[in-house]
Amino acid sequence: MKKTVLTLGVSALVAAAVFAQEFNPSSSALGELSTNANVEASANQESVSENADDKTLSAQEISKSIEEVDGIKVFANILKNSSDKVKDVDSDSGVTVLAPIDAIADTEKIVQNISDYIVPEKLTKENLETKSSVQTLSGKTLPVEVKDSAILINNVEVASLADSSDDKVSVLRLANNFSEEASLVLAK
C-alpha cells in the first residue's frame, strides 16, 4: 500500500511538473522577456530625457497641443497649416499662443501675421500682469496693460487663459484680432 501511494505521489509530481512546463514560459524565455522589458524601459527613459532637454517646439507641435482647446479651433488650424511660416521656438519656459476666439478670428489677418500671435515664453495670468510688454516670435514688442482687472495685449483684451495638452504651451484666448490700428502700435 505504501508503495502504491508513493508511486501515485511521484506520478502526480511528475504530471504537475509537465503541466507547469506546458503553461509557463521556460526560464530562458523569461530571461528574454525580462531583457526586452529592460531595453524598452531604457529606450522610453532616454526618450523622456531627450524631450526634457529639448527646448525647441515646432509649429506642428504647438498646433497639436492646442487643437483640443475650446474656442480656438480656427487659430489651431491656421497654425497647423502655417508651419512653413513659423520658425521653431526655442524657449526654456515654453510658449504662449495668443489666439483670437473662433467667433471673431480673421483668418486672413492671422495667416499674414501668424508669428505675431506666438510668444516664446510661457505666460501665466500672474506673470503677465507684472509685464509692460511681451516680445513675439516675429520680433515685435506688444504692450501689456491691466485696466479694471482686464488684461490687454496690444489693446486687445485677453478673454481667458486655457490649458493645452502640453505643459510647455500656454494659451491666451483673445477677445479680438490684432487690428490695423493695433498693428501701428506694433511698428513703433
Angle at the Cα of 40 from the Cα atoms of 37 and 41, rounded to 5 degrees: 85
Question: For the domain with range 57-187, which CATH number is right: 3.40.50.1010, 2.30.180.10, 1.10.533.10, 3.30.70.890?
Answer: 2.30.180.10
Cβ–Cβ under 8 Å, residues 78 and 110:
yes
Cell 503677465 -> residue: 128
Strand, helix or coil for residue 127: helix
Domain ranges of the chain: 2-53, 57-187
CB atoms within 10 A of CB 134: 21
39 grid coordinates? 531595453
pTM of the model: 0.66
CA distance 145 to 129: 8
Tell me the pLDDT of the chain (188 aa) as tens digits.
Answer: 555 544 545 455 445 444 445 544 444 444 444 444 444 444 444 433 344 446 788 888 898 999 999 999 999 999 998 877 888 888 788 899 999 999 999 999 999 899 999 999 999 888 898 999 999 999 999 999 999 889 999 999 999 998 888 888 999 999 988 875 544 444 44
